[in-house]
Amino acid sequence: MSDLNKLTIAGARDALTKGETTSVELTDACLTAIEAAGALNAFVHKTPEIARDMARAADQRIKAGDAAAMTGIPLGIKDLFCTKGVASQAASNILSGFRPEYESTVTQNLWDAGAVMLGKLNMDEFAMGSSNETSTYGNAVNPWKAANGAALTPGGSSGGSSSAVAADLCLAATGTDTGGSIRQPAAFTGIVGLKPTYGRVSRWGTIAFASSLDQAGPMTKTVRDAAIMLGAMASVDDKDSTSADIPVPDFEAALTGDIRGKQIGIPREYRMDGMPAEIDALWKQGAAMLRDAGAEIVDISLPHTKYALPAYYVIAPAEASSNLARYDGVRYGLRARLGQGDGITDMYEKTRAEGFGPEVQRRVMIGTYVLSAGFYDAYYNRARKVRALIKRDFDQAYAAGVDAILTPATPSAAFPLGSMADADPVEMYLNDVFTVTVNLAGLPGISVPVGQDGQGLPLGLQLIGRPFEEGDLLNIASVVESAAGFVAKPERWW
């Protein structure tokens, strides 16, 4: 078999089962692709020896008839997941040199299922960003290029993951999503990105950004692959107090393609002023696809949507300022060089000033401000109340019979790297306008590639599901995927 790195998880699983290839061959094909794709800067810590050892062990499992869902499948791992003995920096200088003595629950679940680790993937520092331009490793690059040849963002914060999957450097990758960091990069690169229900996947061992919003999920080439990978990632976990003790169903078995009678909501508040005509046309096209498959399309209202971005950008920085207080240069990671007479306060200040990039510093300061005594009620408490109202909007829509909600995934296609460098930070934050509500409400959401813009760049649609109904959500997404027939790939330039 040729071009093994271009296989899907499902395709590779079948080939491995039939003996048409081996995990070692699959892994070597991916490692070769990674070495040839340095221009994408997607992989920041490569682990070829670990990968080959895991691949050999996977081949033994397959030979013994002991293969699990992901056995032998080579994956890229976002740098936010702690991997035992392997650099885990959250793309931040402050964690330089940090090699955990433990494995995150998500990655351990994947290794138990037989998956193979190719290395760690680029991302925005501490997952704070929408373009992968805040990384201490330098930005990852989208394998798709603008019509004028300009380099494009792969999205953020899981930009290395989206770039690697779109360029066939790995069969799939892990991502995390705090306000859209799986779904937006997936839409920008023409792949599938699934954010599960909050609590479906353990957060233990995943470096925290905003603990009430963070959720890990799969970034894959197809909806079927997302179903397979989520089944391996998800579990209840005693080490995570927010982990939901709910059985993990067979998500792949839910992909029946039958959505007759399903109600799909179209929220009127997502029709933003100035929305590009091609995004609006794509949205209407997605609704028509679902209607043609037997679903009922209904208009719904999510009245508090307009408050979602401001609420998110109060809550997320507040939680970040608390979570990032642990990085002080005392126990691990960077410690700034001190001058004569410097005390411990100087060490904290210098280490954090050198270790955190400008965007992380900005969000920590915002978070500290909104949690301060004089502003806690005016900002943080008010944002929490708005969050409750946003969740209630979704609850009422689902109680009225809606099975899923269809929206655009992003307000535009991928934008050129550096194009927002001098812009108001709020402009960058607006990239999350369609995705943050899902995190605030703790719901599952998926981005599916559906079409291309006038430059030929990929565009995605988002489906938002009921809590812990990822199987139903994936089935509806598979219908959109099948109807859209999106098979475009970036022309190789790297």
Active-site residue set:
78, 157, 181
**8 A C-beta contact, residue 122 and residue 147:** no
Amino acid, single-letter form, for residue 81: F
Which residues make Cβ contacts (< 8 Å) with residue 92, sequence separation at least 6? 125, 126, 136, 355, 356, 357, 360
The C-alpha atoms of residue 347 and residue 88 are separated, in whole angstroms, by 23
Max CA distance (Å), the chain:
74
Buried b (16+ CB within 10 A) or exposed e, 393-420: bbeebbeeebbbbbbbbbbbbbbebeeb
DSSP 432: G
φ, ψ at 219 (rounded to 5°):
-125, 115
Place of tokens 């708005």: 386
The C-alpha atoms of residue 239 and residue 231 are separated, in whole angstroms, by 19
Distance of CA 488 to the CA centre of its chain: 21
The C-alpha atoms of residue 280 and residue 273 are separated, in whole angstroms, by 11
DSSP bridge partners of 174: 218
Distance of CA 352 to the CA centre of its chain: 26
CA-nearest of 75, 70, 47 to 232 is 70
Place of tokens 């609704």: 287
**8 A C-beta contact, residue 449 and residue 459:** yes
